Chains A and B, each alone.
Chain A
Amino acid sequence: MSKILGAMREACRVLLGRKPAGRRLTVYADDLFIVSYPRSGNTWTRFLIGNLLYENEPVTFLNIEKYIPAIYLWPDRVMRSLPRPRVLKSHECFDPRYKRVIYIVRDPRDVAVSYYHYAIKRNVIADGYPITEFIHRFMDGEFDLAWNWAASWGDHVLSWMSLRQGRQNFLLLRYEDMLQDTENELRKVAHLVGIEPTPKRLRRAMELSSATRMRDLEKTQGKDWKLTKGTRQDKPFVRSAHAGDWRTALPASSVAEIEQAWGSIMKQVGYDLSTELPVSQSVGSATMKV
């Protein structure tokens, strides 16, 4: 019965042209994609870029889907009608059709902590669900929002890095660098989108995208934003906006599991492993041997 209802619901969505585009999105060569694994600073980056591009109206949760829409919320029909060049948010693992990409990467240990809280917010797991248990499922990619092409953090990051790093029209941003020196990283973005990065313009974008402002906006708009509508409103979407929370939030055994699975990719991106010497030192000793 529920199967039949599901099929009818699906049919209605097709009939009304309401099926979200997702991977079926019609891609244009001039599209710019903001891509990341979930919980890696995509929304913050969207606010920054939106506030950089659009100077008439500050970005909020109520207009962000107009300026920089997520490909998962709107049908392709709507997406095709947007003015070009489009700037779009995506969580897809490598998609060869994306020609211009800003890829944000974040320390997977922090991603794991953030994802845990987000899964509670979305009622996927209950309050107090054991985090060690969660980490296993997280590492298997089970919580990725994509259907059955859900990727683990490692596959996601490596797929984009190994196929696009060093190419034109691919900008790799580290969430941690963005936190530490937002202006500098935002300047790189401005160059990619072809905007002159005047200090005034950069600062305006940063102020309008600060964690404090976003938290305030979320308080009044969280229940109406398409992404968080229907999720627990007592849990914030904009959470700590910090790097390194994993040090206190993750049990050592979970840290070890993550580092064992993705250690080589983490080092490639410049994340020191707690189970090993810091990257700078080990690189140093390798050079010494040569």
Chain B
Amino acid sequence: MRRILGTLKQVTRVLLGQITAGRNASLYPDDVFLVSYPKSGNTWVRFLIANLISEEPITFLNIEQCIPSVYILPDRELRRVRRPRVLKSHECFMPRYRKVIYIVRDPRDVAVSYYHYNLKKRLLPPDCSIEQYAPLFIADELDMRCGPWGDHVMSWMNMRESRDKFLLLRYEDMQANTVAELRRVAEFFGIDPTPERLNRAVQFSSADRLRELEKKESKDWVFTKGMRQDIPFIRAAKSGGWQSALPPQVVAQIETAWGDTMERLGYELVTRAKGLSSRAKEAVFDS
């Protein structure tokens, strides 16, 4: 019975043209995609860019008009967005995305953030510990949408790094030096990065403002509607929280799975001796 209802719901959505676009979204050559693994700062960067582009201050209620997620609106509506469009996506490597800003974040922090988010989404039972969650996260066995973190990051880096229309941002750099990183983004868009414009965007996208907005708007924001409202979407907005939130064995599991990728991105590992990274070891070995 539940299955039949599910099918009927799906049919109605197809008939009304309400199937969310997702991977099937129509693409235009001038589209810019804001891509990341989930819980890597995509929403914050969306706010930053939207506040850079738009005259009107961005809130959770108008963000989906300015920089829509490909997972919320149907293709019919996405096609109506003014071009060049800026779209949010969590897809693993997509050969048809021509212009891409890719945000990467320390997977140890992603793990902590994703854990809380999955509790918020009720994908995890309220009593699930982070130790229990860690293997699901590493193998991507919980929602299986984006693949494991390492595959996601490497798919984009291997295929597009150092190409013309690809900008790699580290969440940690954005935190440490928001204005400088946002200047790179502005240049990528061909926007004149005047200090006033950059500062305005940074202020309108601060964690404090986003938290305030979330309190008022989250039960109406299509994205968080229906989720647990007692767990915030905008959580720590900090780097390095894993050092207190992750048990050492989980840190070790993550570093075993993706150590090389993490080092390539400049994330220092605690399980490898300092000053003798794998790259350094290779160099020693080669000579």
* Contact assessment for B95 and A15 in the assembled complex, using a CB-CB cutoff below 8 Å: no
| Interface residue ranges of B148-179 to A (CB < 8 Å) | 148, 151-152, 154-155, 158-159
* Contact assessment for B148 and A96 in the assembled complex, using a CB-CB cutoff below 8 Å: yes
| Interface residue ranges of B228-242 to A (CB < 8 Å) | none
What is the minimal beta-carbon distance from A23 to any residue of chain B, in angstroms?
A: 6
A10 CA to B96 CA in the complex, in Å?
24
Given contacts A96-B151, A147-B24, contact A14 B10 (CB under 8 A): yes
Residues on A with beta carbons closer than 8 Å to the beta carbon of B93: 93-94, 159
A147 CA to B140 CA in the complex, in Å?
25
* Contact assessment for A15 and B7 in the assembled complex, using a CB-CB cutoff below 8 Å: yes
A5-29 vs B, CB cutoff 8 Å, 1 = contact: the mask equals: 0011011001101000001000100
Closest to B160 in A: A155
* Contact assessment for B96 and A148 in the assembled complex, using a CB-CB cutoff below 8 Å: yes
A141 lies within 8 A of chain B by Cβ: yes
Interface size on A, residues (CB 8 A): 27
A27 CA to B141 CA in the complex, in Å?
11
B17 lies within 8 A of chain A by Cβ: yes
B227 lies within 8 A of chain A by Cβ: no
A96 CA to B17 CA in the complex, in Å?
29
B25 lies within 8 A of chain A by Cβ: yes
Residues on B with beta carbons closer than 8 Å to the beta carbon of A148: 24-27, 96
Closest to B154 in A: A163
B contact set with A: CB distance below 8 Å: 7-8, 10-11, 14-15, 17, 23-27, 92-96, 140, 144, 146-148, 151-152, 154-155, 158-159
27 chain-A/chain-B pairs, Cβ below 8 angstroms: A14-B7, A14-B10, A15-B7, A15-B11, A23-B23, A93-B93, A94-B92, A96-B146, A96-B148, A96-B152, A97-B144, A141-B96, A148-B24, A148-B27, A149-B95, A149-B96, A150-B95, A151-B96, A155-B95, A158-B158, A158-B159, A159-B95, A159-B159, A162-B159, A163-B151, A163-B155, A163-B158
**Given A7-B17, A11-B14, A159-B95, 13 extra CB contacts under 8 A:** A11-B15, A14-B7, A94-B155, A95-B147, A96-B151, A141-B96, A151-B95, A155-B159, A156-B95, A159-B158, A162-B158, A162-B159, A163-B158
A contact set with B: CB distance below 8 Å: 7-8, 10-11, 14-15, 17, 23, 27, 93-97, 141, 147-152, 155-156, 158-159, 162-163
